[in-house]
Amino acid sequence: MLKEILRTHLEDLDPHCLPDRRELAFFGGSFTGIPLERQEYLLSAVQPWILSGEVQSIRVSTHALFIDDSRLSRLKSNHVETVELGIQSTDEKVLKLAGRECPFKVIQFAVNRIHAMGFRLGLQLMPGLPGDDEQKFQKSVEDVINLGPDFVRIYPTLVIKNTGLFDMYQQGIYTPWSLERMIEAVKEAVVKFEKSGIKVIRVGLHPDPSLMENYVAGPFHPSFRYLVDSRIARERMIKMIKALKQVPLSVTFRVPARRVSLYLGHKKENLSIIKNIFGLDSISLQQDATGEHLELVA
């Protein structure tokens, strides 16, 4: 079955638009926690495409509880290059309430072994779980930075049908975060990761049909990453204006052309908010086709 899926997918690719590097990912669960026979079947099924050069590497998503040298050696011998851990939070009380109890020392052990065996490491956080708050989430962010991953993903907690969280929501013992609250918390996290040189490769969930059919409540937005990045852009402009000795009545920023929409904000809300904060008559953006940085020019 897997071989047929792979063959069909690779045959459908446009040979003129193939990426330089193709990677197969086993996501959606704890790969190293499934039965050994199943792991070996899935990994061995991919090897012909690895050996032919049609696929260059494999990545897997798993949990810290299912990491040890034996499991990692099996991955390494089957051309797995990246291991992602869904740690969700580093707060043990939050994890216990979410039904994913895991001592932080177990996470540290898993991360250390993944580093030691030469894998690329990704860590996944899920703010807004039961018992979570902004202080606990930012502590998780700081813990993750200290663990030194190559990249992170941030998935806001949503209520999905037929899950334990859904039962808690129906019973009134769990209330999901609002969209505004989540944007603010994730914005702060993204800034911290970027300052630490850690890439944030995903923020928010892709609105695929399965998600939308089962989504019940929580801070979902189809362009959640855009909302976060736009908020960061707004705060950069505000900081630059505040640094002026005297705020003029009109302000102009030069912005990278490919990021204009971020600085404008959703429905140009960034411009209207900044005008109101400083009492400006006008604020305008100049597109810079070659520049990479924000500049306050007038």
Residues 168-186 pLDDT 10s: 999 999 999 999 999 999 9
Helices (H), 215-268: 224-242, 260-264
* pTM beyond 0.75: yes
Domain boundary pick from 222, 238, 255: 222
Do residues 151 and 32 share a domain?
yes
Do residues 184 and 264 share a domain?
no
H or E segment and range at residue 286 = strand 282-288
Question: Which of 58-91 are b and which e, b meaning 16 or more Cβ less than 10 Å from the residue's Cβ?
Answer: bbbbbbbbebeeebbeebeebbbebbbbbbbbbb
| CATH number where 270 lies | 3.30.300
The number of domains in the chain is 2
- Mean pLDDT, the chain, whole residue set: 92
Do residues 82 and 152 share a domain?
yes
Handedness of CA 285, 291, 295, 298 (dihedral sign): negative
Q: Note down the domain range covering 87.
A: 2-7+19-222
Do residues 266 and 208 share a domain?
no
Joined together, the tokens standing for residue 4 give 């047929």
Please report the pLDDT score of residue 125 as a whole number: 98
The predicted model gives 103-115 an average pLDDT of: 97
The predicted model gives 133-144 an average pLDDT of: 98
| CATH number where 29 lies | 3.80.30.10
Instruction: Give the number of C-alpha atoms closer than 13 A to the C-alpha of residue 58, restricted to the C-beta side.
Output: 25
Q: Residue 18 pLDDT > 60, yes or no?
A: no
Domain boundary pick from 169, 199, 222: 222
Do residues 176 and 235 share a domain?
no
Joined together, the tokens standing for residue 31 give 């790969």
DSSP 122: E
Domain boundary pick from 170, 205, 222: 222
